[in-house]
């Protein structure tokens, strides 16, 4: 959806330098640009490459203002954010068709909003609620008494277990399983076998959450598993039962969160991070890739980066790694 550069400047609150009537049709990387493209740079290191590219305009910081006249510019304090905001205008949200596909199976007690859409071969069980303009894609299974808010997108073959509640504008990508039983067993020493602990709680997902493909989020055992508003999960993330994830948390792929963990608001977790049961990550902490947090451990420090297993502040971790390297070299001589 093409937009003038002037419209993009207003939408992103950026300062326009150059011809605002130029039409921008899409965003692009520096490696693949063409006429009508918009690119961004966050430092002067790549500015020359952007100015020499075929892109029609560049989003950059104040460092680029001196290059006025070479190519139209949008000047922003946060070029990457402005670029992402511009993309929202250039690529508006898909409007999914409303109505229920003839092959879908919808229980008579379910409430599907008139503006909602239900795809082929989807199943919606008793007393489920699907909000206005939400879309349930083909092959999804929506369990009994599930509540899905307005403007949600649930992509193919998602399974949502009974009793799960999902807020507004939530995106669930293909193959995710939400609200399944948690992994809880009690050993019967008499017979040497495991007895399943009750998994009868709920899963509550807040507004503006995005859940990647093939994620799994367990419901609470007796209470609730809670995912806070604005939180984003990459593909292949697992959240164990009774865990509480705060608002605006970002979790990268292949991360595993054990049961009864707590993650505060605004935390960042890299890929393949692992948390033992009852671990707590306080608000704003950052865990680097493959960091491991032991059971019952509390990690605190807004903006502090942690790394390694067991996890340590990154400076401490790198210092210990350097010491180990020196000792290894000495031992090899």
Please write the tens of the pLDDT for every residue from 94-136. 889 999 999 999 999 999 999 999 999 999 999 999 999 999 9
pLDDT(333) > 70: no
Q: Is the pLDDT of residue 332 over 90?
A: no
Residue 329: the pLDDT is 85
Cβ partners under 8 Å of residue 268, min gap 6: 249, 250, 285, 286, 287
Instruction: Return the minimum-mean-pLDDT range out of 149-163, 291-305, 307-321.
Output: 307-321
The structure tokens 């349930």 sit at 136
Token digits for 195?
């007895």
pLDDT recorded at residue 208:
98
Q: Helix, strand, coil shares of the chain as percentages rounded to 5?
A: 15, 30, 55
Mean pLDDT of 75-87: 97
Give Cα separations from 165 to 64, 150, 226 (angstroms): 47, 12, 10
User: What kind and span of H or E run contains 167?
Assistant: none
Give the distance, in angstroms, between the CA of residue 157 and the centroid of all CA atoms in the same chain: 19
Instruction: Give bridge partners of residue 268 from the DSSP assignment.
Output: 250, 286
Query: For residue 227, what are its two tokens?
Result: 């995912």
Mean pLDDT (whole number) for 28-39: 95
pLDDT for position 328: 85
CA separation, residue 176 to residues 189, 215, 237, 252, 254 (Å): 35, 5, 10, 15, 13
The mean pLDDT of 174-178, rounded to a whole number, is 98
* 3-state SS assignment for residue 104: coil
The answer to whether the pTM exceeds 0.95 is no
Q: Which residues pair with 233 in a beta bridge?
A: 211, 251
Q: Does residue 96 have an active-site annotation?
A: no
Would you place residue 320 in the very low, low, confident or very high pLDDT band (cuts 50, 70, 90)?
confident
pLDDT at site 1: 81
Is there a contact between 241 and 201 (Cβ–Cβ < 8 Å)? yes
Choice among 141, 173, 238, 241 that is catalytic:
241
d(CA 205, CA 216): 13
Burial of 195 (C-beta count, 10 Å sphere; 0-12/13-18/19+): exposed
- Cross-strand pairs, 141: 123, 159
* 191-250 per-position pLDDT tens digit: 999 999 999 999 999 999 999 999 999 999 999 999 999 999 999 999 999 999 999 999
Mean per-residue pLDDT over the chain, rounded:
96
């Amino acid at each position: 959806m093409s937009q003038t550069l002037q419209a993009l400047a207003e939408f992103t609150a950026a300062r326009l330098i150059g011809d605002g009537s130029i039409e921008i049709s899409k965003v692009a990387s520096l490696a693949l640009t063409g006429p009508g493209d918009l690119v961004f740079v966050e430092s002067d290191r790549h500015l020359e490459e952007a100015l020499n590219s075929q892109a029609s305009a560049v989003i950059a910081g104040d460092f680029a203002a001196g290059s006025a006249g070479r190519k139209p510019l949008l000047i922003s304090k946060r070029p990457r954010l402005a670029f992402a905001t511009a993309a929202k205008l250039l690529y508006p949200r898909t409007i999914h068709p409303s109505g229920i596909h003839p092959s879908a199976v919808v229980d008579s007690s379910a409430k599907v909003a008139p503006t909602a859409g239900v795809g082929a071969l989807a199943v919606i069980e008793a007393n489920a609620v699907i909000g206005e303009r939400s879309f349930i894609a083909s092959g999804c299974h929506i369990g009994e008494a599930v509540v899905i808010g307005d403007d949600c997108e649930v992509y193919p073959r998602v399974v949502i277990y009974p009793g799960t509640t999902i807020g507004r504008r939530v995106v669930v990508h293909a193959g995710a399983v939400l609200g399944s039983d948690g992994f809880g067993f009690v050993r019967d020493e008499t017979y040497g076998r495991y007895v399943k602990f009750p998994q009868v709680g709920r899963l509550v997902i807040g507004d503006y959450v995005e859940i990647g493909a093939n994620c799994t989020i367990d419901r609470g055992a007796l209470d609730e598993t809670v995912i806070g508003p604005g939180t984003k999960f990459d593909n292949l993330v697992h959240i164990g039962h009774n865990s509480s994830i705060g608002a605006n948390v970002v979790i990268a792929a292949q991360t595993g969160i054990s049961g009864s963990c707590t993650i505060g608001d605004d935390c960042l977790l890299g890929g393949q991070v692992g948390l033992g049961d009852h671990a707590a990550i306080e608000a704003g902490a950052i865990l680097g890739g493959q960091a491991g947090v032991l059971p019952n451990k509390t990690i605190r420090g807004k903006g502090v980066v942690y790394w390694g297993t067991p996890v340590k502040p990154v400076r401490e971790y790198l210092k210990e790694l350097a010491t180990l390297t020196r000792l290894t070299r000495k031992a090899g001589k």
